Every structure is written in C-alpha cells, then in structure tokens.
Amino acid sequence: MRDIAIDRIMTTDPETIGPGAPIAAAKKILGSGNIHHLPVVENGRLEGIISSADLRMFQFLKVGKATLSDVPVRQIMEVDPVVLEPGASLRDAATKLSAGGYHALPVVEPDRKLVGIVTTSDLIDHLLRQIPRGDGSIQAEATSAPAISPGVSEIAMALRDAEQDIERGDANDLAQILLYFRDRIQILEHACQAAEIYLRSGLGEHEHAVLVKSLADIQESSSDAGL
C-alpha cells in the first residue's frame, strides 16, 4: 500500500460544536449532510467528539423529561478521543481505526488545536482510487476540486473486484484492507443493533448474551487485523 501523509485525505476545517451546546444543536449538524462525527471544541482546543451513534444511545437511555434541548453535548461526548498528529500517515490512521470501535480520528496539533478529521469513509475513498479499473487505469486523485464520495454502485463494484482478486489469489494490500473495513463495519453495525435490542428489551438475559457475543466479535476482529 502506498503510504501518504494524512493531510492528503483528511477533512480540513471540519464542522465543530462547543461542549456547552445542547445536544439538539449537534443533532441538527449531524443531520444536515454526510456528517456522522462532530468534534467538540472549546477555545480552539479539542475537548471530545460526538457521533450519530452517541445521539441514538442517549435517546434510548434518557430518563424522565430530559430532552435533546436540555442536555449539553459535554454530558454524552466521548472525552479524550483517540487522535492523530498532522505528521501521521495513512497507515497510522488505518492501524488506529482497525484497532478501535470508532470510525473517526480528529487530527490535532500537540497543543490539542484541531486541524482536521479522518474517517473510515476517507480511507475507503482513497483506497478505491488506488484499485485499478477494468482497463487497468487508476483514478487520479483530485488536486483542486474536493473529492466526491464514491456512490453505492462504485463501492459495490470495488468490493466485488477485491473479492475476485482474493479468490484468484492475487489480491494486493488495498483489496485486503478494503474488504477488512467492509467486514468490520458490518460487525459494528451488528453490535449497535444488538445494543438497541438489549435496551428495548428491558435488559433481558438473552439479549444481553447476544450483545456480549457481538462485542466479542469486535475484539476478535481487532486482534485478527493485519494492518
């Protein structure tokens, strides 16, 4: 895999929110576009991160009359998230994302000043650009215009090509990493679904066992990572 500096693929100047803002404000930002992770910043320094999954979990667990407008972001944000330094590489990002149960890494200076964010979607988009097309050509990276996220059909085609390469025994690192992230996302989705069912069931024993198994699958997938 051709390693590159993380600033080549990260989103610079990402949307942010303050720790004292209501969760309703975070929900509005996360629902306004293709944004699923929102850095929490105060005085230019990263304080945490909030995701769409955090919002869903809060809505399932909220007690009494608490609403999205009553609770500040700091109460449900992930404090001290795993981060990257600006000098990190694509491989550094892939290694950290594959080892944890998250899909985004804020990029910060040593003083915690936020300079960007990298997500699994950014990595997959870059990987798709490196996998040869049917005619053997490679899609050129965007130089001035922002990269356009691949569509569902493009992702499906790339995954199919990667699977065929593996079946033939000539898969490269890019194909293997692409399929790894595909499988890991599916495992994480299963765990989220198991958590939701567990909460809705009133913390039933069977549902708890299913959730524990899903979490174990996540740990196993991390230990098996070959990045």
For residue 52, pLDDT over 60 is answered with yes
**60-106, pLDDT tens digit by residue?**
766 555 677 888 999 989 998 999 999 899 888 888 887 776 789 99
**pLDDT number for residue 17:** 97
**pLDDT number for residue 210:** 75
**pLDDT number for residue 105:** 94
**pLDDT number for residue 130:** 62
CB neighbours of 158 closer than 8 A, spacing ≥ 6?
A: 127, 128, 131, 150, 178
For residue 189, pLDDT over 90 is answered with no
**pLDDT number for residue 49:** 96
For residue 1, pLDDT over 60 is answered with no
| Buried b or exposed e, range 115-129, using 16+ CB within 10 angstroms | bbbbbbbbbbbbbbb
**pTM of the entire structure?**
0.61
Tell me if the domain spanning 6-223 has CATH number 3.90.1170.50: no
**pLDDT number for residue 122:** 83
**197-209, pLDDT tens digit by residue?**
765 666 677 777 7
DSSP sequence for 64-127: TT--TTTSBGGGTSEES---B-TT-BHHHHHHHHHHSS-SEEEEE-TT-BEEEEEEHHHHHHHH
- Cα 59 to Cα 52: distance, rounded to the nearest angstrom: 11
- Cα 168 to Cα 95: distance, rounded to the nearest angstrom: 26
**pLDDT number for residue 114:** 96
For the chain, what is the mean pLDDT?
A: 77
CB neighbours of 125 closer than 8 A, spacing ≥ 6?
A: 9, 147, 149, 150
Confidence of residue 151 (pLDDT cuts 50, 70, 90): low
For 48, the token pair is 């945490």
**pLDDT number for residue 106:** 96
One-letter amino acid at 163 equals: E
**94-147, pLDDT tens digit by residue?**
888 877 767 899 999 999 999 999 988 888 777 766 655 555 554 555 443 444
**pLDDT number for residue 31:** 82
